[in-house]
Structure 1
Amino acid sequence: MKLYFLISFPCYQLILVGVCCSGGGDNSDPYAEVSLQPLPEYTIPSDGVTMTCISCTDKGRIFMAGRDGHIYELHYTTGSGWHKRCRKVCLTAGVGSVISRWVIPNMFKFGAVDPIVEMVVDNERQILYARTEEMKIQVFVMGPSGDSPLKKVAEERNLLNQKDAHYGGRQATASRASNRSAKPSIVSISPLSTLESKWLHLVAILSDGRRMYLSTSTSSGSNSTVGGLNGFNNHHHRPSCLKVVTTRPSPPLGVSGGLTFGAMSLAGRNQTEDLSLKVETAYYSTGTLVLSDSSPPTMSSLLIVSRDSSSQSSLSGNLGASARSSRALRESVSSLPVEGRMLFVADVLPLPDTAATVLSLYSELEFCGSESSVESCEKASGKLWARGDLSTQHILPRRRIVIFSTMGMMEVVFNRPVDILRRLLESNSPRPILEDFFNRFGAGEAAAMCLMLAARIVHSENLISNVVAEKAAEAFEDPRIVGVPQVEGTSGLSNTRTAAGGFSMGQVVQEAEPVFSGAHEGLCLCSSRLLFPVWELPVMVVKGGYDAASENGLIACRLSVGAMQVLENKTRALEIFLRSRRNKRRGLYGCVAGLGDMTGSILYGTGSELGAGDRSMVRNLFGAYFRSADSNGGGTSNKRQRLPYSPAELAAMEVRAMECIRQLLLRSAEALFLLQLVSQHHVTRLVQGFDANIRQELIQLTFHQLVCSEEGDRLATRLISALMEYYTGPDGRGTVDDISGKLREGCPSYFKESDYKFFLAVECLERAAVTPDPDVKENLAREAFDFLSKVPESADLRTVCKRFEDLRFYEAVVRLPLQKAQALDPAGDAFNEQIDQAIRDYAIAQREQCYEIIASALRSLKGEGSQREFGSPARPVAVRSVLDHASRRKYICQIVQLSVQSPDRLFHEYLYRTMIDLGLENELLEYGGPDLVPFLQTAGCEPAQEVQALSALTSATPSVGQPGAPIHSNQAKYFYLLARYYVLKRQHLLAAHVLLRLAERRSIDGSNAPSLEQR
């Protein structure tokens, strides 16, 4: 329930009435039920002052203007102190005026006063404007936060003179010049939001329909045009004056821009009538102007003026720079005959759910973070109408205003361009009218509207019927209205040609570029407007910290779950529509994209690969359109110019681009789904185990990077791992199937089948860690090993193998890293000495990272150190039982026996060196593989003897150098092991040969020379 105040001020008192708003039965409209509550304690006398107008701020301050020319503020409180709960305070009167009011009541004062007749509040800039009966405009500031006492900073009496000086002698039409003997008056003032302009702050509407745009800044700024949407930041502007920046003529009579349905055009007025406007009252809000015109002799009319969204003017002859300059200022004027006089106009703001979605999406882009302001989200989102219909009709509803007049109340609904197109399709309008619509708005914009209707992503009060959706899809695919892809300049190759018979040298021949059809442009427009609020902005924010990089703050998704869901639904709907047309092979995109797989057909082939069947298909699709385009370019030359692309190649290029956009939409929808799922499980809780670097990367991650970059894919995997760990943890919040089903359905590109098997294995390991039964523990470990054996390349083996070590399941500790090493180097580059050395070194490094996992298990068993940093930081690793010496040796021997079964020669060498470094010579000599002897021989040779050592790999006799040859002490240990191996295998002759060479060796460094006893 929402509570408001209704203020009534009869002649003798001021009355506050409580207004209670609540939703109906379905709670779809929070204002469905309105009730009034009398508040007798909030009634105060007016002290003889008649109030003329009232205005309030978003923070609840209530200002009233009296006929005595002063401004009052109504103070109210819920406290029970000795002060009254409600009292009015005069803000503009001095001490002398207050004393004189106590001595002489206002009713006995007969001096001339200039009463205030209108007050408006600019809640963004914290400015109060007041207009008096004599057309003075006063400017008051309310402090940076809007709660300070009023302070007058400017008062201007000669605004009309400023307007005449600025406007000069320019007049709109000669017919109106004769009717300006009477000086116009100001009938209304309205503040301009920062979304409309940074440098213009106020608009004053005159009685003849002209508009004066005023600024409270002394500097003119770099953007003084209304509707300049590139200046959103207020920069803490401090008002210091009031001046006229520009004046705009009255709305054009007899000309109505755009397409009008259901509204009377001013062109129907009799030419003998006076065409000048006589505006009684006016209302302006976010780009829309409503004028109450009493100039028609028969009946008053309402003139509704708004920006014309069409790309082409309805008047002919506007070419060149004049057309470009007037495009942004062109207006659409509609006239509605009404009885009575307009008293007041109010915007019907979007419903709270829609407003919250819009505010969450556009707050960082348009409103400068106004979600933290006291301004309601309905008011903030309504300001987005200033951007125009084309860029907001997919997210904002149709604009509505309520007009109160002397004859009653009426509601006016503004049809957006997409609503006009919908009515055209519903009424089976003739093709020339539909073509005129495409010509007015441009093929790209009109195709984007067809997409919104066909995919049902436009914000609409009523459901879009299947008939309208299918007609919109057919219009989107019709080459007669959206055009066909062609080479730039094919409609007339005049860029490189001169007049008839002429000759020109020195002209730059522009390279012909392909120009895609309106369907491609419409898809680009529709997709970019959907993703515009998220694409270049971070997906996460830090709340409650000192700055964006604070580690003490809470990490949360920047967008609300509701906003992301709305955006995901629209993005998926557009992608599903494109995929359905491809599957049905409808239109150019559907036919070409549905021809074959990723490696065949016209879509993925080059120009030379296009077969005759593909070319005839394109020819059948477009009929005579390509031929007519070609013939237009050949009319001025006897010799036909060869185009760089054939029609089939152009079609393939366009459809390939559209297919890439479809895949981008699908990936974006999956990213939005993943962010929703993560946000529902509290991001801060999920990332509490991340280190500082990963947290910082996550905070700086943009949506574009999440969708398109490897970094985004890596961070998404980390978030999914944290999410799965939340479900499979020891607290027992669920199982893998509880969350994996949602991930596999909602974001399969982020959560693949290999990820599913990996987390199933993790779940088995978690269950095995808490199971006391050894048989069940072993069965669960083997089940996890079977899952991981299917996807060894996608598993984080450092963490997983530590868990297998805890379970004493060393078969997985050995086999999984070896399987991953093979998956990382399937071509065997590490063994190929003929390839580039850098490629081989990289392959060897990849394999050695996997070998290190097995070496780490040996170190843990040997007791050299347990590297626990690879365990999960989110929870403690299961405590392993303390092993005695016999058990340690048993598991070490098991690892060695499993290892030597592998045919990986590089791994054997890595294993042998690790065992020698750990002092496991006995186990090495007992369980070493058949390649142990060649390894010891090779390791004991000097670099100069490597050639001889390689030949010794196939020799039965040991090679330890010539008698008396120098041997390094590090090499000698390998020969000692070789001699021990021969003794162990009862090959005493070979052992004696090795020992003889060791006894006769010369030391390289004298300090390590063997003693006589050692020899």
Structure 2
Amino acid sequence: MENSSPENTITAVNKATSVIETRGTLDANFPDLRKTFRAEFVYNETKHEAVQPVILKESIILPEEGLEALQTFNPSANAAGIAPFINKAYFTIKNCLYLWDYTERKMIVHEEEDEIVGAAFVKPKAGVFAAEINQLLIISTIRQVKIIAASYNPTTGLKVFQTDLNTTASGVNMKVIVGTNKGRVFMLGNDGNVWELDYRSDETWFTGKCSKKLHTTSSPLSFIIPTTKDPVIQLAINECGNVLYQLTQNSNIIVTYLGEDGSSFNTVLQCKDAAKLANSSVPNSPYVASNVFKIVSLNPTSPSESKDYQLVAITSNGSRLYFTQYEGSQHLLNNGPPNTLQLSHVRPPNSDVAPTDVFAHTYYKDGLLIGVKNQNEKRTEDRIVTYSPDLAAIANPNNIINSIPSYTEFNNFLDVPGKIISIVETANTAYQINELTAPFETPGRTFLVLTTYGMAVLVKQRPIDMLYKLICNANQDTAARLRNFESFFQYFGYVNSISLCLGILCSTSSIMKNGLTSVGSVTNDISKSITVLLENMGSAPSAINPQFSSRHDGLALFVYRVINPIWSKPFVKASSNDASAIYSSILAPAQLQRTLTVMRKLSNLMQEKSNYFLRSSNAEEQESLSNLNELIKHMTEGLSFIQYIINTDLSSIVKSIKPEAQKRLLTMTLKDLLTSKDGRKVASDLSYALVDYTSNKYQTTGHVIDVLTEHCGSFCSASNVFLHKAAQQIFSARSATNASQARAMLTESLNMLKKIALHIPADKAAEIAQDFAQQGYPVYGIELALACSSARDPHNTTNAYVKAGCSLNDPAAKTFANKQPFYDIVFDLLYKIVTKTSASVLSESESRNQVFKSAFSSCTDQAFAYYVFEKFIQNKMGEELIKQPLPYLEEFLICPPFNFERNSLLASFYNSNERYEEAARTYFELARAAKDIPTRIKNLLQASVSASSVTSPAKQYEMYQLTEAIKQNLENANRQSVTASQ
């Protein structure tokens, strides 16, 4: 059982949350790429292979029959491509379609009756085919266009099914075929027109199951761009599937809106003067001069790259033209129709590229450009040139904190065996330009390059991959080669680099492989090397906050990066708004498991390396490291708790909590649940519901505790079980058959609660204490509150704190703040007894005496006594205190500074305890301090009575002098009173 109280944990967690979110601004402030564009064009070239942005990972040789067939491949006459979803590459030679499984190294050949001029794999429309059909193979021959259905999964492989869906080619060779994510199929014919292949499950009176439709000549712009003079040469579709881009031979761009649902076809605008606009953007640049300007590809972009541009056009020499298709804030509307096409930026290639150089097979996405430079039939290898964002320049804290940095790119080249035919990117998960946030175990971007030799596999190296490779190259000699790493740490920033080190150490698996994509193994030697880096590099001051080390801020940034994907999102949804709703998790199980695994590894690492992660000569940093440790443990146990509820029966457990808690849970984020006051209440409700659910399944309390502790940690452990069972027993005592049975049940529950006093939150203790009082046992409520307070400070360290005047800088101030809510519980119970607002099975006198005795009889907590005494005085009930023999009362009343009301109570205390000499002197001092004459006279008279009550012969002379002074002051006061009345 943990030794930290709930309030200490939550205080630490909230402070740590603030720290990680502050450090997380480094990622949150990562700029939209458009905002980094400047008039100057900066490129960096890295010679060291370990930090090359794009590398050749693997080359796969085609089977012999494929190599022979490709000897006659003609790019202008034959079709070719890659379908990563099904792990297949394909190309056509005459009437044969060669289908190559590059993972299994197998080749199959499909033959048609006529020569094949086009082929592609596309997604099917919904509702036309059986559910298992997830791909369509479209084959275009010189006579017809036909559809073959395909089913693929990694286990069973690819299965194809012939269909009766086909249509005549009508003399047009459909050479380019593209599909949308909604299943629409567009084709580009050798007539320069755009066609659509339509298919359906049933025939109609006027159309068959499959037909084609000519779009270009029916376009409202057909009179502007005659298709015979400026044919369309490329088609591109954006990720949403609602915009179709057409590139013409004369570098004109036509934009067609396919509708919000992707089912219409409305050509809305065009750009006919791209060359002129580009020349105006970069005047006198030879790269966009009219004699060399030619757009060779259109590349739709994603919002993850920029919200300010939606299309990048690549010219023949590798220049990039960035276009926006929205005016004003229109881009903020999802799937909104384009309303303009404006050139916002032009970026020429680096100086190694001549204006007359020619790029082919260009691919651009998410800031990365790949192209084949000066493809030459005589060479046996093609040279690939790449440009990608230089994250070190963009995301280094030194650059990003003060201002938005300028756009800097890495460029590199690599030679690929064979002549390149096609380049595609494999399917990837949600990608972020800021690759510094990428988990190590998630493979980076992978590109497949089909060549006349086979398949070249290219990998985009992320900074974490570069660091891993540097560590591998050090060959267990990291300590002696620290200089090799210093440049890396300086380049990417020490904070980022520490975060990357932790990303490798805490990765969720040693080896992951999916098809052609894999990541390295984190061996013991790799772990030792990273430990050396952490110990030697972590002491550098942080660029985010120089008062802290890079070790501290790197740790905080890493935690932010791990939890950020799920931290601020709701995680529970309901199927409906009524009582029959089914509750389910929004969190993807794999994402939840990955986050939980990483947090567990990090927590264990911090304990194993506590001297490094939890020690600092900077007191502020050490406290923050301790808070981060609490957050990591709290987050780990919270995620484990959530995962266990999801895997157990989320819907049933949620349904068993209060309706208002159910509503709050639906809008609550993980951050809310784990750090907010309201979240803690809902978490408490969920934990008690889980206890009930588990108790019904496992009958013995011990087994229930073992199960919950194993899966949920302190979030739902033995303390939660005992707390919930005690609360149930207190409630059941209301319906006990007699008072003795009720008392026995309440006594047993109190004893159970005292055992877990440290883990009972103040609000729950107040609720239980009130329940005790309502059943006539306020003493039990007081005992519970004092037990909770004592558990938080067993050695009464706050006694010295109150004696010293309660300085805010005192280390015990935090402990006192934790105990104060429990002091308030005791005072509230005493107040109700005194004011007769509490029900009790005892008589009034017995109740008052018993309750006060319970609170103070064996009190060793002087801070508690002082606090409650002060509360009584503030509530004008000080006289109640002197009716009981209370410890520390006199000491409290005489402690400085002077307080008139407190001294009045002190005088009454002396008088009631027959200490008349002290009473007389105190009343006399009160009279002298009184601000009005009546009060002065009243205290002088009381002083006189007290002085006259002193009977000790040894004190007679002193009392005589005091009495004379009282008389003199009384005469003066009476004269002043008479004068004032006149």
TM over 0.5: yes
Q: How does 1:342-361 map to 2 (within 5 A)?
A: 342-350=420-428, 355=429
Q: Deviations over 1:171-205 (max 9, x none)?
A: 57xxxx9xx78423221111011111112111111
Q: Secondary structure at the match of 1:847?
A: helix
Q: How does 1:39-188 map to 2 (within 5 A)?
A: 39=163, 41-79=164-202, 84-94=208-218, 112-124=228-240, 126-147=242-263, 149-171=264-286, 182-188=291-297
Question: Aligned pair in 2 of structure 1 residues 338, 949: CA closer, same or farther (>3 Å)?
Answer: closer
* Deviation of the 1:153 alpha carbon: 0.7
Alpha carbons 1:556, 1:682 under 8 Å: kept = no
Amino acid at match of 1:54: I
Question: Aligned pair in 2 of structure 1 residues 748, 416: CA closer, same or farther (>3 Å)?
Answer: same
Partner of residue 570, structure 1: 598
Q: Deviations over 1:428-450 (max 9, x none)?
A: 26443222222322222222222
Partner of residue 724, structure 1: 691
Amino acid at match of 1:55: V
Match for residue 385 of structure 2 among 277, 297, 303: 303
**Cα distance in 2, alignment partners of residues 818 and 541 from structure 1:** 41
Partner of residue 193, structure 1: 302
Match for residue 669 of structure 1 among 626, 633, 636: 636
Q: Secondary structure at the match of 1:68?
A: coil
Question: Aligned pair in 2 of structure 1 residues 558, 486: CA closer, same or farther (>3 Å)?
Answer: closer
Alpha carbons 2:140, 2:175 under 8 Å: kept = no
Q: TM-score, normalised by structure 1?
A: 0.59
**Cα distance in 1, alignment partners of residues 219 and 556 from structure 2:** 65
Question: Aligned pair in 2 of structure 1 residues 706, 88: CA closer, same or farther (>3 Å)?
Answer: same
Question: Aligned pair in 2 of structure 1 residues 2, 112: CA closer, same or farther (>3 Å)?
Answer: closer
- Is 2:784 the counterpart of 1:820? yes
Q: How does 1:603-1002 map to 2 (within 5 A)?
A: 649-650=617-618, 652-681=619-648, 683=650, 685-688=652-655, 693-728=660-695, 736-737=701-702, 740-751=705-716, 753-761=718-726, 786-791=751-756, 794=760, 816-823=780-787, 842=824, 845-847=827-829, 902=850, 904=852
Partner of residue 533, structure 2: 475
Counting matched residue pairs gives: 697
Instruction: Name structure 1 gaps, 5 residues minimum.
Output: 25-31, 99-109, 223-230, 255-273, 356-380, 489-512, 594-602, 604-648, 859-891, 909-930, 936-945, 956-1015
Match for residue 159 of structure 2 among 13, 21, 35: 35
Question: Aligned pair in 2 of structure 1 residues 702, 162: CA closer, same or farther (>3 Å)?
Answer: same
Alpha carbons 2:189, 2:195 under 8 Å: kept = yes
Instruction: Name structure 2 gaps, 5 residues minimum.
Output: 1-131, 476-480, 513-519, 791-795, 807-819, 857-879, 885-904, 915-982
Q: Deviations over 1:136-184 (max 9, x none)?
A: 221100112222x201111223212221122211457xxxx9xx78423
Question: Aligned pair in 2 of structure 1 residues 45, 236: CA closer, same or farther (>3 Å)?
Answer: closer
Alpha carbons 2:510, 2:522 under 8 Å: kept = no
Question: Aligned pair in 2 of structure 1 residues 97, 452: CA closer, same or farther (>3 Å)?
Answer: closer
Amino acid at match of 2:134: L
Amino acid at match of 1:390: L
Alpha carbons 2:446, 2:460 under 8 Å: kept = yes
Q: How does 1:361-440 map to 2 (within 5 A)?
A: 381=430, 384-385=431-432, 387-394=433-440, 396-428=442-474, 430-440=481-491
Q: TM-score, normalised by structure 2?
A: 0.61
Partner of residue 42, structure 2: none
- Is 2:363 the counterpart of 1:283? yes
Q: Deviations over 1:533-578 (max 9, x none)?
A: 2344445456545xxxx99976654423332221111122122212
Alpha carbons 1:457, 1:574 under 8 Å: kept = no
* Deviation of the 1:666 alpha carbon: 1.9
Partner of residue 888, structure 1: none
Specify which structure has the bigger relative contact order, considering alpha-carbon pairs within 8 angstroms and separated by 6 or more residues: 2
Q: Secondary structure at the match of 1:146?
A: coil
- Is 2:559 the counterpart of 1:527? yes
Match for residue 408 of structure 2 among 329, 340, 343: 329
Amino acid at match of 1:303: V
**Cα distance in 2, alignment partners of residues 469 and 739 from structure 1:** 38
Alpha carbons 2:193, 2:227 under 8 Å: kept = no
Q: Secondary structure at the match of 1:44?
A: strand
**Cα distance in 1, alignment partners of residues 543 and 230 from structure 2:** 68
Question: Aligned pair in 2 of structure 1 residues 182, 393: CA closer, same or farther (>3 Å)?
Answer: farther
Alpha carbons 1:448, 1:523 under 8 Å: kept = yes
Alpha carbons 2:770, 2:781 under 8 Å: kept = no
Partner of residue 1009, structure 1: none
Q: Deviations over 1:475-516 (max 9, x none)?
A: 1111xx44445999xxxxxxxxxxxxxxxxxxxxxxxx8543
Q: Secondary structure at the match of 2:474?
A: coil
Q: Secondary structure at the match of 1:143?
A: coil
Question: Aligned pair in 2 of structure 1 residues 846, 563: CA closer, same or farther (>3 Å)?
Answer: farther
Alpha carbons 1:818, 1:851 under 8 Å: kept = no
- Percent same amino acid among aligned pairs? 19
Alpha carbons 1:52, 1:65 under 8 Å: kept = yes
* Deviation of the 1:398 alpha carbon: 1.8
Structure 1 range deviating more: 524-533 or 748-757? 748-757
Partner of residue 239, structure 1: 338
**Cα distance in 2, alignment partners of residues 560 and 953 from structure 1:** 71
**Cα distance in 1, alignment partners of residues 265 and 645 from structure 2:** 47
Q: Deviations over 1:684-725 (max 9, x none)?
A: 543446556544544454433433344433332122112223
**Cα distance in 1, alignment partners of residues 788 and 500 from structure 2:** 48
Amino acid at match of 2:278: K
Alpha carbons 1:305, 1:334 under 8 Å: kept = no
Alpha carbons 1:131, 1:138 under 8 Å: kept = yes
**Cα distance in 2, alignment partners of residues 426 and 115 from structure 1:** 53
Q: Secondary structure at the match of 1:43?
A: strand
Alpha carbons 1:761, 1:785 under 8 Å: kept = yes
Alpha carbons 1:290, 1:303 under 8 Å: kept = yes
**Cα distance in 1, alignment partners of residues 906 and 742 from structure 2:** 51
**Cα distance in 2, alignment partners of residues 2 and 696 from structure 1:** 40
- Is 2:137 the counterpart of 1:21? no
Q: Whose strand proportion is higher, 1 or 2?
A: 2
Q: Deviations over 1:646-680 (max 9, x none)?
A: xxx44x44444333323222222222222223334
Question: Aligned pair in 2 of structure 1 residues 800, 662: CA closer, same or farther (>3 Å)?
Answer: closer
Amino acid at match of 2:325: T
Q: Secondary structure at the match of 2:503?
A: helix
**Cα distance in 2, alignment partners of residues 457 and 747 from structure 1:** 20
**Cα distance in 2, alignment partners of residues 656 and 947 from structure 1:** 43
Amino acid at match of 2:588: S
